[in-house]
Amino acid sequence: MPDNAKLKQALDAAARYGQEHLFKFHDELDSAGQEALVEQVMSVDFAQIETLHRDLVRNHSASAARESIEPLRARAWEDFSLSERAALANQGMRILREGKVAAFLVAGGQGTRLGHNGPKGVFDIGLPSRKSLFQLQAERILRLSRQAGKTIPWYIMTSRENHAETTGFFKERRFFGLSERDIFFFKQGEMPVVDADGKILLASKGRLSMGPNGNGGCFLALAKSGALEDMKRRGIEHVFFYSVDNALVRVCDPRFVGFAAQMGMPAASKAVVKVQPEEKVGVLCLRNGKPSVIEYSEMTEEMIYSKTADGRYLYDSANIAMHIFTRAFLESHAGASLPFHLAHKKIAYTSPSGETVTPTLPNAYKFELFMFDLFPMAGAMAGLLVSREEEFAPVKNKDGVDSPASARNLLLELHHKWAVAAGVSEEELRGKLVEISPLASYAGEGINTALIRSQLGNPIIHVS
């Protein structure tokens, strides 16, 4: 089709939905810029944007339906007997040894709260080793795959914004010792960003403002990119899903793999007990009888404070974004349509007069998919409560709670405990920082006390 016809088609499509402002600067662009703008406009589903704006921004009708909510009780790891725990861990290790487990990282987020420009995984949380979040994860995968004697393929979802920087970071660091063949990077989908009137913002004179379509975009991206097909080819049966920002994530934890396999459900989720009932986290629940997550804001006072006979809060199992799905489940549901949610954010844009505006208050609406909207489709889901101190150190904010500093401290406290559990005394470790490389220990096993003692003269003890 001649370019003019294409331009007319794009203009008409935009104008039909009141979005002709997207062409305001068209004539100022060079021909490559004009072509790119037309291509981008043609890829937008304007009808979808209009519906989402009407339902979510104008009418705020996220979910008007009456729902029945009940708790989904996660089983505490400690509630299993010692022999049951050993059996589950052995079962998980056997499955890893058979090469049936993959790691699936969603790392397409923008990390706006952290205020770090670039992929969050490259972030150095201030450990003595200066390791990035990506390196901690890579080394845990490497250690575990060495223990299992089998490769653990790693599927990493990025976004258009951070793909090149993510892959470049891995390349520069030689994939942290993993084989490049076993790491599969792919990009998630995008959605246009709109203002309060539903007009799509311009990121620049020739580009629409687009944002990643939320972590729930991971399932479709998994299928579209060929990653699911690759998993099948490799004989993967269990897919460990996790988010990039937990410095203590036990990627493909054999205990969890064993638990998920033993429970025999399409999905399993790790959770931690809420610090206090008012903690603002999503909690595992059953919504209309199906597994789901209930946000703090959706809970009534009664739900927040109700307890069971054993003294536990009824809704105490906080979602920490660590799940295992069977590949079969992902294959049959990756294409499912999930509902969009609204996020109100500060996003820089090009004004009608052509200037870049950097807002100080939220000005833009993003439409995002949430990964846990897939849970109900599993029908049933097993929950495993694990120790927060051992497994959860989120990096969300610049400082204070859930920051790089808090995550660093949690990791160092845990490694201190590992050293003590291995036989080094508190007295010997007084005033020292202990960091143990994931290559030396995945979860506190095999700590070399002689190596620790040989470094007692230093303020920082590093076991690698």
Binding site for ligand UTP (CB under 6 A): 106-114, 120, 157, 188, 212-215, 243-245, 396
Minimal distance, residue 275 CB to ligand UTP, in Å:
18
Among residues 115 and 457, whose Cβ is nearest to ligand UTP?
A: 115
Minimal distance, residue 197 CB to ligand UTP, in Å:
24
Among residues 110 and 406, whose Cβ is nearest to ligand UTP?
A: 110
Minimal distance, residue 431 CB to ligand UTP, in Å:
35
Among residues 246 and 441, whose Cβ is nearest to ligand UTP?
A: 246
Minimal distance, residue 157 CB to ligand UTP, in Å:
6
Q: What is the 3-state secondary structure (H, E, C) of the chain?
A: CCHHHHHHHHHHHHHHCCCHHHHCCHHHCCHHHHHHHHHHHHCCCHHHHHHHHHHHHHCCCCCCCCCCEEECCCEEHHHCCHHHHHHHHHHHHHHHHCCCEEEEEECCCCCCCCCCCCCHHHCECCCCCCCEHHHHHHHHHHHHHHHHCCCCCEEEEECCCCHHHHHHHHHHCHHHHCCHHHEEEEECCEEECECCCCCECEEECCEECEEECCHHHHHHHHHHCCHHHHHHHHCCCEEEEEECCECCCCCCCHHHHHHHHHHCCCEEEEEEECCCCCCCCCEEEEECCEEEEECHHHCCHHHHHCECCCCCECCCEEEEEEEEEEHHHHHHHCCCCCCEEEEEECCCEECCCCCEECCCCCCEEEEEECHHHHHHHHCCEEEEECCHHHHCCECCCCCCCCCHHHHHHHHHHHHHHHHHHCCCCHHHHCCCEEEECCCCCCCCCCCCHHHHHCCCCCCEEEEC
Residue at shortest CB range from ligand UTP: 109
Among residues 139 and 402, whose Cβ is nearest to ligand UTP?
A: 402
Among residues 157 and 463, whose Cβ is nearest to ligand UTP?
A: 157
Minimal distance, residue 71 CB to ligand UTP, in Å:
23
For residue 221, report the phi and psi dihedrals to the nearest 5 degrees.
-65, -35
Among residues 138 and 452, whose Cβ is nearest to ligand UTP?
A: 138
Distance between CA atoms of 367 and 194, rounded to whole angstroms? 9
Minimal distance, residue 307 CB to ligand UTP, in Å:
29
Minimal distance, residue 134 CB to ligand UTP, in Å:
11
Minimal distance, residue 321 CB to ligand UTP, in Å:
6
Which residue type, as a one-letter code, is found at position 126?
Answer: G
Among residues 37 and 102, whose Cβ is nearest to ligand UTP?
A: 102
Among residues 168 and 264, whose Cβ is nearest to ligand UTP?
A: 168
By the 8 A CB rule, do 4 and 12 touch? Answer: no
- Take residue 229 and report the two structure tokens written for it: 């097909």
Minimal distance, residue 379 CB to ligand UTP, in Å:
24
Among residues 237 and 368, whose Cβ is nearest to ligand UTP?
A: 368
Buried b (16+ CB within 10 A) or exposed e, 436-452: bbbbbbbbeeebeeeeb
Minimal distance, residue 114 CB to ligand UTP, in Å:
6
Among residues 49 and 157, whose Cβ is nearest to ligand UTP?
A: 157
